[in-house]
Every structure is written in C-alpha cells, then in structure tokens.
A and B are shown apart, each in its own frame.
Chain A
Amino acid sequence: MWKKAILAAPYLWLLLFFLAPFAIVLKISLADPVFGVPPYSQTASLDNFAFLFSDKLYAVTYLRSVFMAACATLLCLALGFPMAYGIARARRNTRSLLLLLIILPFWISFLLRVYAWMGLMNNYGTINTLLLWLGVIDQPIPLMYTDFAVFVGLVYSYLPFMILPLYASLERMDLDLVEAAQDLGASRSQAFRDVTLPLARPGVIAGCLLVFIPAIGEYVIPYLLGGPESLLIGRVLFDEFFVNRDWPLASAVAVVLLLLLVVPIVLLQRYQARDQENAA
C-alpha cells in the first residue's frame, strides 16, 4: 500500500505539473483568439497549426532554432569534454577546486551574466576597446547583435550543464581499463576511442540533452545578444503571447516545439533499448 503510494508520487507530480498544463496549452492551441478574458474562444479547430505550416516564417525559425541549439550543443561538447576529462584526472584537491570554479557562475544571476557579455562585446565594449588599443583593428568589429554573440551566450551559459554529467561519468571510470586496453595493444588514442569514449557515453547523452533542450527554446540570450534577424522560436513564442496577445497561436507554437523535442528523446531511448538487446 505504502509502496504504491510512494511509487505514485512521481507520476502524480508529472500529471499535475506537466501533463495538466500541457493539456491546457493544447486546448488553447485549438481555440481562436478573441478579445476578452480569457483571450481565446471555446471552439476547437486545427486552424492555428494550419497557419504555422502555411507561413514559411515559422518553419524557418524552427529550423534555425534547431540548428543553433545543435551547434551550441556540439560546441559545448567539444569544449566541455576536455575540461571534464581534465577535472576527472586531476588530483583530488585540485578537482574540487576546479568543480567549484565550474559551479561558481551560478551564484550570480543569469541575467546579470548575460548583461556582462553585452558590456564585453559592445562596439565600445571591453573586447573592442582592447583590440583598438592594441592596434589589431582600426574600427570596432560588430560583435553584439550577431549570431556569434548568441553562440557565445549559449555556450557560456550551458557549458556547466555539459561538463557536470561528463565529469560524473569520467570520474567513475576505472583507470585500469585504459591501461588494460593499452596493454592489449591499443595506442593512447585507440584506448580513448575503445574504452573512455563508450564508457563516457551516458554522460555525453545526458549533457547533450541538458544543453540542447533548454537551448532550443532559449529566449533571453537571443533577445539580448542576438540581432533583429536572428529570429529564434523562443522569441517568436514570446512575441505571439505578449506582443500580439494571440494565445492560441502561441500555444500552437509551443506544442510543435514540444513535439520537436520529444522526437530526439524517443529516438535516443529506442537506440539505447536496442543497444541493450544486442548485449543480451
């Protein structure tokens, strides 16, 4: 009886805070916008979804968002893996210091840190001033309000979410395994490929999901650092809700975004299940 109650708790949580809100959003996405409170009708149609698919703007924005998030994820992985590896192989006391440094930025508000990047990347910000002073450039290079700035912001903000799961899986690994591979004829790089990488895979997957999922719907970073042309889905969603006050269309955007996120997760789970079957 108690066991069942305890097991039911997470499901209840999921039901209350995920499925129920999602059902509401889904319901709104099927309605029409009206003036009043609430600002949607009680009707149901697929008009909003039809509109999403008819206007090329949305498709392009979704694709751009997926592309940006994927690039940011890969960049985080490329930067995060060596860092996590270095931390996991560092001496015990250095290790905790390095981990602290990774977590330290969280002590400052996320918004403040993004603003700090604005100060750094402005036309007359720290980076440009320094380069001008050094004589590397004659004119400030436009860093702010570009895709570059968005990437910087995304990678900077999400890097810890990549490093921590990677670190966890690398730190657990028995170093004898790498030596055993070398002993059996694998060079350093082969041992890395055959042993370290596959054993770090759970960390790679967790890190990628932790970066990719929030990055795809990221609103603050593209809004503050990106230019007007770097339209991302998070921003479209925000504008539909609060600028256009078109709740039904905004909800439809959200539903499609969720489906976009569910696809890679389901694929991944399938892949893992198949992997386990192969092993058995």
Chain B
Amino acid sequence: MKDFIHIRGVTKKFGDFVAVDNVDLCIEKGELFSILGGSGCGKTTLLRMLAGFETPTSGTIEIDGKDVTAQPPYERHVNMMFQSYAVFPHMSVGKNIAYGLYKEKTPRKEVVRRVDEMLELVQLTELRSRKPDQLSGGQRQRVALARALIKRPKVLLLDEPLAALDKKLRERTQFELMNIQDELGITFVVVTHDQEEAMTLSSRIAVMDRGRFQQVGTPKEIYEFPANRFVAEFIGTINTFRGRVAAVAEGGIRVYSTEAGVTLTALGKQLVEEGQEIDVAVRPEKIFISKEKPANSDDVCIEGVVDDLGYLGNRSLYRIRLESGKIVQVSSQNRRRSVTRFLEWEDKVWISWRPRSAVVLLD
C-alpha cells in the first residue's frame, strides 16, 4: 500500500519553544494510527497541523499526494473530533451532523439521507432533534464523531477521543470506533496519552516525547521491542538491570550486572561492544516465580525474597528484593483457584526468565 499521509521534516516553534522537532512520518491509507505521549510532548500540535489549525514553521505535510501545508482547515479533506467534542450547543443533533454538508452546499435531499445514515451508524436516530445539553457525554461524543464523518473525509483526526468517558463506556466505545473505522475504511489518526487505548485501538503507534518520535511501530513491536529506555518505561512496566557487556556471541550477549548479581544473557539486535554500559530489560509478566531453583539451565535465574505482594484477582503482583537490594516486579496469572497464598512475605524465591524475553536498551 502506498503512503497516504506524508509528514516531512515538520517543525513547529512557539516563540523559543519547539513543540514539534523535525518529525518525519508516513501513514498508510486505512490505518488506525495513534500518536502516544505525555502532556506537552507535541502530539496535539502535530494533530492540529494535520487539521490545518497550525502551520508548520518548516517542513511539509502531504495528504493523498497533495501538499496541504499551507491549506486552511476548511479546504482540507480532513475532519477532526475535538477532545471537548465541540458540539454546537445552539443546534440540534441533526443540525450538528448536517453542518459540514450545508457548508458544501449539498442538496437538501442528499443531506437528509446522509444524516439519517450517520445517525444510524452512531445509533442516535431517536435523538436527532435533541439539543446537546439534553445528551449524555457518550451521546455527545457520538454526535461529534458523526459530524466529523459525514463529509467522508480522507482522514479523521481524533483528539483524546475517549478521555472524557468513564471506564465501561470507554471500553465499549473503543470497539465501536474500531468497527466504524473498519466499515468506512477512513484513515484514523488518534492522539492519546493513554497507552492502553493506543495499544487496543491502533494498527500502528508513534511514541512521542519532547517533540520527537521515539519509536514508530505496531503495538507489539513497541511493547516487545522498545527502541529505547523512554519507550520501554512509557509503555507498561519494565524491570531494568544496569550492566557491562562481558561477551558478544552468536547466541546473544552476556552482560554482567551487579544489580542482578549474576551474568545475564540477552538477545540483542543492536550493535553493542564489549565493555559497554547498557540496560537489560524484562517485563514483569515474562518473569517466572518459583520456590525451587528452576531446572532449565539456559534461563536466567536469580534468588531473592518476597518484599511485597498484591492480589489483583486475575493476577498477582510481586516485588522481589534481590541480594543487591534491587527490587524486581513480577506479575503472574492466578491460574489455580485457592484461598491460601502461594507465597508469603519474606519467602525465599527464585525468579527466572528466558534469555529471549529480555531486551537490550541503549542510552
């Protein structure tokens, strides 16, 4: 598939502050792409540049083969769903949804037909003549979505689409959004600070920090093969062990870490040299926990004691204290049903993981 949105060397400065710093990005047609980052990372500025509310200080933005860098928002085939939803309070649901078509001078019959279609898509047919102040938050969100979709934009931009909804509604809406995207085949670009939201929604994610992309990839790539420390720590929880590369071999690299108290083996795609200081990182759910020393000698095994534990229903969280004082987080599924605890505070345990579960992080 060919690239649909092409961002080339885009920088946006506000005075001295660089909000977006020389960003390059390609988004394919029909993708559900997320830009993920904390507040102030520049993700909203980037989205606003795609919508046309901000013009880049330098660089170009191309949509469907056309340079839109200097185009005002009302000339772009791009529509946006605002974080505040920005539903017009003085117009009924139907008028809100129809607004974009009126601006296009679409014939009346056609407007009515397409508004009906949209109302059905977002399941608001019953509420078409209601005013926004008579709607719930979830309903307003769907009005905003329908209003943004009715012009059949090439790209739909969504600014924190689920942030204002409560947890249950958020989960449902998430799947609705995915279904709608699938049905219409419109390219979605979502901005969010919620990593879980980004993981479940998107075909690809760009993790952004201080105006730059730290990593662009599928949710799996980002989670399992984080490119650097920032990405690894931003997405989910991760344990890192500082160490020095002892040997680089065919099967992997061996790293001696005083924090771990043992030599760690990890598969590193990156180029590392002997003697280099690096981090070996392991996700909590990749670590096994047992009372006896595991038999498999290829695995990395470290002894420790249970510092703290928490029961979460579907899984348990453990904090294991190693001899060096380092705390390692371990998460394990509660497969067996039992009232008694498998482990108690200050129990001696072994933690282990397969070498290929570990990631090498460079500074």
Chain B residue at smallest Cβ distance from A275: B90
Q: Is B79 a contact partner of A183 (Cβ separation < 8 A)?
A: yes
Asked if A185 and B131 sit within 8 Å, CB to CB, the answer is no
Considering the complex of A and B, which 9 residue pairs feature the smallest CB-CB distances, nearest first? A185-B103, A184-B100, A176-B86, A180-B86, A182-B73, A176-B82, A176-B84, A198-B90, A185-B74
* A/B interface sample: 23 pairs, CB < 8 A: A177-B86, A179-B53, A179-B86, A180-B86, A180-B88, A181-B99, A182-B73, A183-B52, A183-B78, A183-B79, A183-B80, A184-B74, A184-B79, A184-B99, A184-B100, A184-B147, A184-B148, A185-B100, A190-B103, A198-B90, A199-B89, A279-B92, A279-B131
With known contacts A179-B73, A199-B89, A184–B103 Cβ distance under 8 A: yes
Kindly report which residue of chain A lies nearest to residue B159, judged by CB atoms: A176
> In chain A, what residue has the closest Cβ to B80?
A183
Q: Is the beta-carbon distance between A187 and B74 smaller than 8 angstroms? A: yes
In the assembled complex, A138 has its CB within 8 A of some CB on chain B:
no
Instruction: Let me know if B72 is at the binding interface, CB within 8 A.
Output: yes
User: Which A residues are CB-close (under 8 A) to B114?
Assistant: none
Asked whether B74 lies within 8 Å of A177 as measured between CB atoms, the reply is no
Dominant SS at the B interface?
A: loop
Given contacts A177-B89, A199-B89, 5 further A-B contacts (CB under 8 A): A176-B84, A179-B82, A183-B78, A184-B74, A186-B99
CA distance A187 to B104 in the complex (A): 11
A35 to B74: give the CA distance in the assembly, Å: 75
Residue A174 at the chain B interface, CB threshold 8 Å: yes
Bound-state CA distance A279–B130 (Å) is: 8
B151 at interface, CB cutoff 8 A: yes
Minimum CB–CB distance from A80 to chain B (whole Å) comes to: 21
In whole angstroms, what is the CA distance A39 to B23 when docked? 87
* CB <8 Å contact, B74 and A183: yes
In the bound complex, what is the Cα–Cα distance between A183 and B131 (angstroms)? 21
- Closest chain-B Cβ to A79's Cβ sits at a distance in Å of 25
Find the B residue at minimum CB distance from A182: B73
CB distance from B344 to the nearest CB of A (A): 54
Minimum CB–CB distance for B250 against chain A, Å: 55
* Cβ contacts B41-81/A at 8 Å (1 or 0 each): 00000000001110000000000000000001110001110
Residues of B within 8 A of A199 (CB): 89-90
User: How far, in angstroms, from A184 to B146 measured CA to CA in the complex?
Assistant: 12
Interface size class of A (residues with CB under 8 A): 10 to 19
* B74 close to A174 (CB less than 8 A): no
- Considering the chains assembled together, what is the distance between the CA atoms of A178 and B24 in angstroms? 29
For residue A187, which residues in chain B have a CB less than 8 angstroms away from its CB?
A: 72, 74
Least distance between B99 CB and chain A CB atoms (Å)? 5
The answer to whether A174 touches B72, judged by C-beta atoms less than 8 angstroms apart, is no
Closest to B90 in A: A198
CB distance from A168 to the nearest CB of B (A): 16
CA of A187 to CA of B52, assembled, Å: 12
What is the CA–CA distance of A177 and B86 in the complex, to the nearest angstrom? 5
**Nearest Cβ in chain A — how far from B131, in angstroms?**
5
Flag if A195 contacts B88 (CB, 8 Å).
yes
Q: State the Cβ distance, B334 to closest chain A Cβ, in Å.
A: 45
> A190-B103, A279-B92 are contacts. A183–B73 as well, Cβ < 8 Å?
yes
Closest to A201 in B: B90
- With a cutoff of 8 Å between Cβ atoms, the chain A residues found around residue B73 in the complex are 179, 182-183
Report B-chain residues with C-beta under 8 Å of the C-beta of A195.
88
Q: Which of B52, B53, B100, B129 has the most CB of A within 10 A?
A: B100
How distant is the Cα of A198 from the Cα of B131 in the complex, in angstroms?
15
